[in-house]
Amino acid sequence: MSASVLFMSMSLDGFIADPADRLGGSDGNRLHHWLLTDDGEGFRSDEPAAGLLAEYTASGAIVAGRRTVEIVDHWGGDHHGMPIFVPSHRPPGPSVADMPLVTYVSDGIASAMAQAKAAAGDRDVLVHGGYTARRALEAGVLDELGILQIPVLLGRGRRLFDELPAEIELDIVRVVDTPEATHLRYRVRR
Amino acid sequence: MSASVLFMSMSLDGFIADPADRLGGSDGNRLHHWLLTDDGEGFRSDEPAAGLLAEYTASGAIVAGRRTVEIVDHWGGDHHGMPIFVPSHRPPGPSVADMPLVTYVSDGIASAMAQAKAAAGDRDVLVHGGYTARRALEAGVLDELGILQIPVLLGRGRRLFDELPAEIELDIVRVVDTPEATHLRYRVRR
């Protein structure tokens, strides 16, 4: 069955971006070193990075937070060909008019997730963004968490997790130990 | 060579205690379930909990934060027989007068760590407490981090990691995957 899966790189101290919305380090990409070639220009083709990227691009739709998509201007409207759903109460900016795969959803995270699941069919829905992840957890519409935990303390920035209204139990689905990142996969217990 | 090793249970969202200084969950012990017998009264004797506990009690000294030790009144003055060093600018409370293994250190974390390392000889120094861990990281006197990452989102409470003045790179030393906790061990890169 199709699952909604958060996919984020996070420092050990819980940050997903530095205060300038960069990914840390001198090149601004510290949290994505596990995924990038040494020159930072392309994606790695060796395992386990390549396998994870393949898993990721085999998803059927994305639900991503407005802050996240606006930082990259909606990936230019094409993120591995997947339809992109953005929960937001405000209308989209002008660039979105030329992006047929991007849909702004104004009636909440549960609606955005339902539309994304319908678009994804039997494939998974990728979820990006800290705020969006927390709202999806609160609304009970996040099924799994895929955390790429990076062996660095960024020391400051934007956190993936912040306050939630209740404790949420998880089951550990998979742990992959690599020198550059610990790949943690959890299922939300209902 | 002797190392100073932080040893803490932490929820996936980075908390080491709930707002009431309990360890989360209905029994107030959620973050220590990996370590305790089902009735919560004793320590588990099966692996890997037993092995980690043995590693822990083979340490030669403890450096622990004042908040941490006061919550448990300095473990009654005897924590597996190890000398206990508490960095604090204020003098200790009256109970410490009857605790010969407890030493309050008023001239900072580096001094507390040096005294603990001297007492530990060739054994490791255990470090407990969020504030103390951050001050030790800042002062460059924390060698390793042992994080028992628990598959739960507590949603609120006291964080292990907060702001640090600079990014700190870590090397992953060991990852042990169990259903109840992911045992992560890191070395601080110098």
pLDDT tens digits in sequence order for chain A, 190 residues long: 799 999 999 999 999 999 999 999 999 999 999 999 888 888 999 888 899 888 888 999 999 999 999 999 999 999 999 999 999 999 999 999 999 999 999 999 999 999 999 999 999 999 999 999 999 999 999 999 999 999 999 999 999 999 999 999 999 999 999 999 999 999 999 8
pLDDT, position A56: 84
CB within 8 Å: A168 and B177? no
Q: Which CATH number fits domain A4-188: 3.20.10.10, 3.40.50.720, 3.40.430.10, 2.60.40.10?
A: 3.40.430.10
pLDDT, position A66: 96
Q: How many other C-beta atoms are found inside a 10 Å radius of the C-beta of residue B67?
A: 16
Contacting B with CB below 8 Å, chain A residues are 12-14, 24-25, 30, 137, 145, 147, 149, 151-156, 159-172, 175, 177, 179, 182, 184, 186
Show Cβ contacts of residue B65 under 8 Å, excluding neighbours closer than 6 positions. Answer: B86, B87, B128, B129, B130, B131, B132
pLDDT, position B106: 97
Question: Which segments in chain B show pLDDT lower than 70?
Answer: none
* Phi, psi at A171, each rounded to 5°: -110, 135
ipTM attached to this prediction: 0.95
* Of the partner residues A25, A156, A184, the one whose CB lies closest to the CB of residue B163: A156
CB within 8 Å: B159 and A186? no
pLDDT, position A52: 86
CB within 8 Å: A167 and B30? yes
CA A46-A48-A52 angle, to 5 degrees, is 110
pLDDT, position B116: 98
**Dihedral sign computed on CA atoms, order B160, B162, B166, B167:** positive
B contact test, residue of A26, A153, A171, A175 with most B CBs within 10 A = A153
Domain ranges of chain B: 4-161+168-188
Which tens digit of pLDDT belongs to each residue from B164-179?
999 999 999 999 999 9
CA distances for A132 relative to A7, A35, A67, A85, B30, angstroms: 12, 23, 9, 11, 26
- Outline where B72-169 has alpha helix (H): 109-120, 130-139
pLDDT, position A83: 98
- To the nearest whole Å, the CA of B155 is away from the closest chain A CA by 4
- Looking at the whole model, is its pTM more than 0.90? yes
Burial class of residue A156 (count of CB atoms within 10 Å of its CB; 0-12, 13-18, 19+): middle
Topology adopted by domain B4-161+168-188: Dihydrofolate Reductase, subunit A (3.40.430)
